[in-house]
Amino acid sequence: MTIRSLLLAASVFSLGACASNTAQTPPAAYGPAGPDAVAAYEAVTYSGTGAQWRNLGQQELAERINQPLANGRARNVIVFIADGMSLGTVTAARIYDGQSRGMSGEENYLPFERWGHTATIKTYSENGQVPDSAATASAIHTGVKTHNGAISVYARQTLESCRSDADLPATLLELAEARGLSTGIVSSARLTHATPATAFAHVPSRNWEVDAVLPADAVEAGCRDIARQLVEFDHGNGLELAIGGGRAAFLPSSTGGQRADGRDLTAEWVERGGAYADNRADLLASPADRPLLGLLASSHLPYELDRGEDEASLAELTELAVNRLQGDEDGFYLLVEAGRVDHAHHGSNAARALADAQEFAQAIERASEMVDLSETLIIVTADHGHVFSIAGYPRRGNPILGLVHPDAPDLSDDPTPPATAQDGRPYTTLGYYTGPHQRPPEGSLTDAEVMDPDYRQESAVPMGSETHSGEDVIAYATGPQAHLVRGVMEQNTLFHIITYAYGWDQADED
């Protein structure tokens, strides 16, 4: 059997080497059928020989044996961060993606999961067993861990960090600009939000996105809000591209923005020689020879499930960014963040978290097809996880957003009723340890209810917002020096792998 035929065999749902793979209409117990229901169900045919699994195992062994090591230097680096993409989120997104394309889901792979180099990443911060996005993204961008809430400053630094740039850790983006590379940021969150801000800003508090919230002692110490730092970024020749949400932090309150100082930072960006767009059409039509600031929403960009046809997807924004940056012969550094995976999890809304994770995977696939991987290192990771779980012994092919339906006792394909908890009521496969939604005191859920995009999964511990987790996350890598991403690693080590891949002198990073 050829590698190609093995790949084809692994991409369809069958437990026998010669079994039929005819998709069936989902039984009534599995909720509404149709592509929008993410409820695809296929018959399980057991051959009893295990041939498919032996073949698949041999295929994956061959892939690992033949995996070449790319020992060259990187001209370009792209870091993809899905905010809050825990390992459970990756697994559920893999199944969600597969089911949305008519598979049972479990056998699916997201594009980056086929890469040959992975590591588990320890996410704790300088002061937290469970971290936030500010500390974790700062570790990736500066090579040092800091405390929760801090944006690219050393641990325990407060107002003194505003007084001198010499006392601050350099970020990957700053180092890239100093070496003449083009740089860019794309995010589905506000550009002033924690993760994207760590690339270009230094501030003791992640909350200082706009001048109106700076306390008096911070102003006196010379602290600048994050939006202002983006526009005034003066390393190298400045940012070539920054696209995301957060327009309100750049506009004065007199025009519907949030700034108390009366400044219009978008106008200042244009005065500095840049192009500005606040919608998809203008963004796509913007001149390629001018630095581009795209602020496509007042706050965060919409969730993928809520995105209108006239609004750009994360994959489209990523494609635009790569197209603009890869013309630089000196290379580029690009950060792409799927920020809203985190927001959906905080609201215990698994459907939107998984849809945004799926779009994140599509953005990665598009970028990897556009660049030369012999000279471009791509790292995919999360900043932290969430207390999100997949549980309850659902049968294979069970809709990932649905109620738990166990396998039939006789291993047949017959539909089964939902499994029930000790209170006699059904429950979902997906759930959260903490969060804002608890099981109602009475009544019984249906598959149609729980598979609605607005359904919020149940939480064991009632809280106003679901919380982050302290578990490790995964990093995936391809391209030059990708083999260095392996084993169990501190999160800040990713920075050092990237600078080594670029061939930068360690002494120049300090």
pLDDT digits (tens, 9 = 90+) for 83-141: 999 999 999 999 999 999 999 999 999 999 999 999 999 999 999 999 999 999 999 99
Give the per-residue pLDDT at 44.
39
Give the per-residue pLDDT at 153.
97
State the chain's mean pLDDT as an integer: 90
Pairing label, strands 473-478, 487-490 = unpaired
Burial class (CB in 10 A: 0-12, 13-18, 19+), 328: middle
Instruction: Say if 14 falls within a structural domain.
Output: no
Instruction: Say if 428 falls within a structural domain.
Output: no
Give the per-residue pLDDT at 440.
78
pLDDT of residue 12 exceeding 80, the answer is no
> Among 14, 104, 133, 368, which one carries the catalytic annotation?
133
- In this prediction, residues 341-353 reach a mean pLDDT of 99
Q: How confident is the model at residue 67 (pLDDT cuts 50, 70, 90)?
A: confident
Give the per-residue pLDDT at 167.
86
Give the per-residue pLDDT at 9.
38
Instruction: Say if 269 falls within a structural domain.
Output: yes
- In this prediction, residues 457-468 reach a mean pLDDT of 97
Which positions ≥6 away from 359 have C-beta within 8 Å?
304, 313, 314, 315, 338
- What's the CA gap between 416 and 395, in Å, rounded? 9
Between the alpha carbon of residue 424 and those of residues 31, 38, 251, 280, the distances in Å are 20, 26, 54, 50
Q: Considering only residues 352 and 25, tell me which one the structure prediction assigns the higher pLDDT.
A: 352
Q: Is 193 flagged in the annotation as binding?
A: yes
pLDDT in tens, 375-431: 999 999 999 999 999 999 999 999 999 999 999 999 898 999 999 999 899 999 999
- In this prediction, residues 274-296 reach a mean pLDDT of 98
Report the SS3 class of residue 488. Answer: strand
Give the per-residue pLDDT at 509.
53
CB 381 within 8 A of CB 121: yes
- What's the CA gap between 158 and 150, in Å, rounded? 9
- In this prediction, residues 185-212 reach a mean pLDDT of 98
- What's the CA gap between 175 and 432, in Å, rounded? 39
- What's the CA gap between 162 and 165, in Å, rounded? 7
Instruction: Say if 278 falls within a structural domain.
Output: yes
Q: Is 83 flagged in the annotation as binding?
A: yes
Q: Is 300 flagged in the annotation as binding?
A: no
Structure tokens at 469: 């987790």
Q: Which of 27-31, 237-241, 470-474 has the lowest average pLDDT?
A: 27-31
Instruction: Say if 199 falls within a structural domain.
Output: yes
Instruction: Say if 109 falls within a structural domain.
Output: no
CB 183 within 8 A of CB 235: no
Phi, psi of 380 (to 5 degrees): -115, 130
Which positions ≥6 away from 424 have C-beta within 8 Å?
none
pLDDT in tens, 225-274: 999 999 999 999 999 999 999 999 999 999 999 999 999 999 999 999 99
- In this prediction, residues 63-71 reach a mean pLDDT of 84
Domain carrying residue 212: 76-84+117-385+467-509
> How crowded is residue 428: how many other Cβ atoms within 10 Å of its Cβ?
26
Dump the DSSP string for 419-456: PB-TTS-B-BSEEEEEES----SS----HHHHTSTT--
Please tell me the total count of domains within the chain. Answer: 1
Q: At what angle do helices 87-100 and 350-370 cross, to 10 degrees?
A: 80
Instruction: Tell me 461's DSSP state.
Output: E
Give the per-residue pLDDT at 48.
58
Fill in the amino acid letter for 151: I
Which positions ≥6 away from 54 have C-beta within 8 Å?
none
Give the per-residue pLDDT at 1.
36
- What's the CA gap between 350 and 153, in Å, rounded? 33
- What's the CA gap between 335 and 137, in Å, rounded? 11
- What's the CA gap between 395 and 173, in Å, rounded? 46
The residue count of the chain comes to: 510
- What's the CA gap between 91 and 73, in Å, rounded? 32
Give the per-residue pLDDT at 50.
84
- CATH label of the domain that carries residue 343: 3.40.720.10
Give the per-residue pLDDT at 363.
99
- In this prediction, residues 309-332 reach a mean pLDDT of 98
CB burial readout 22-49, b (16+ within 10 A) else e: eeeebeebbbeeeeebbbbbbbbeeeee
Phi/psi class of residue 359: alpha, beta or left (left: φ > 0; alpha: ψ in -120 to 50)? alpha
Q: Is 337 flagged in the annotation as binding?
A: yes
Q: Is 195 flagged in the annotation as binding?
A: yes
Instruction: Say if 71 falls within a structural domain.
Output: no
Give the per-residue pLDDT at 11.
36
Q: Which of 212-216, 360-364, 472-476, 504-508 has the lowest average pLDDT?
A: 504-508
> Is residue 286 annotated as a catalytic residue, yes or no?
no
Instruction: Say if 173 falls within a structural domain.
Output: yes
Q: How confident is the model at residue 70 (pLDDT cuts 50, 70, 90)?
A: confident
